[in-house]
Amino acid sequence: MSTEESMSVGETKSVAANSVVIRVEAGESAVRAVGRRILVAMLLASVFMNMMLLLSTVVDATATTQSVQQSHHSGDESASAKLAVISFSGTIMPPFTARWLTQIEQAQQDDAVKGVLLAIDSPGGLVADSHQLYHELQKLAKKKPIYVAMKRLAASGGYYLAMGIGTEGRIFAEPTTWTGSIGVIIPRYNAAELASKVGVTVEPLVTGPLKSSLNPFRDLSDEEREVWAAILKDSFDRFIGVIEQNRPALDDEHVRDLATGQIYTTNQAIENGLVDEVGYEEEALAALAQSLGLSEYEVIEYSSTPTLLDVILSGSVQAKPGFSEELLSATVPKAMYYCSWNPWVPGYGK
């Protein structure tokens, strides 16, 4: 056997050793064959998720403590009075929630910071996280004025955050900003028909009839739909109330008329009382300084130092979720203030 033939055989053995072989029996339907491939993919994904979950548990014990960093944004660096910029970019979810909470606390405790600007570029996120941030922003707004500068997208949970500035703050939006999308979504996929064609029966062992109610391999029962409808209504009513309380010109009826899930352009948002005026970040900062009577001031921008866990799971020193985090979170039922028909949008944010 020639050297070239030996290498070919060796390469074939190597490929075979690292491949998953799926046998398709004679006469097997194409649908069943595809189903087998899907099940194998799900099995591999499950193994991968469990490995990453174990890794995250181990690494979490050695993760470094997050700290708030501040950098010069604009203005006079020698000025004693400061305005702080907190950037809410990407999906509102852990681990970002904790970092933003720390930045809000930093702004509240720093006596040199006279006012805060929220730079929002977010499609929204988790209901609980959106409200937690809103609650802390409300406490900050009682001590210091807060303005908002909306960028590309400040929708759903992104708009919910903006309500944290209270009735005294002002909301600026760029001419091309999209906002609104007031409402709640719970991801739900129905693969019951596919499971039936492939021949898969899902029988989870549960302690109650509603424990696996979002199982994608079967239809929802009437009882389950009623339960989830009540959960949606609770979150939706809270969203409506938050807007009504913080936008004095809007009453409950008007807010509900706007809360169809529709996205609004800047001009539409201003017309409907959701936004105050057109303007960019620098214009919002100038207006905030004017409201405080400041002629000399420095604008600082907050950021958080990524932990060791972030670096390992994302493969980057930047504070963004890695694939493993996205894959893990995709399997967990979530109620979301989110501007998308498909709430799992990998890679959004910075």
User: Residue 316 catalytic?
Assistant: no
d(CA 320, CA 309): 11
d(CA 33, CA 42): 14
156: number of Cβ within 10 Å: 31
Q: What is the sign, positive or negative, of the torsion defined by CA atoms of 170, 176, 180, 186?
A: negative
Active-site annotation holder among 87, 89, 130, 156: 156
Active-site annotation holder among 13, 143, 211, 233: 211
Residue whose C-alpha is closest to residue 78's, from 282, 296, 285: 296
- Is 8 strand, coil or helix? helix
As given in the structure block, the two tokens for residue 44 are 């591999």
Q: What is the sign, positive or negative, of the torsion defined by CA atoms of 138, 141, 143, 148?
A: positive
- Is 83 strand, coil or helix? strand
Q: What is the DSSP string of 46-62?
A: HHHHHHHHHHHHHHHTT
Q: Are 321 and 61 in contact (CB under 8 A)?
A: no
User: Residue 74 catalytic?
Assistant: no
Amino acid at 254: H
Q: Which residues are catalytic?
A: 156, 211
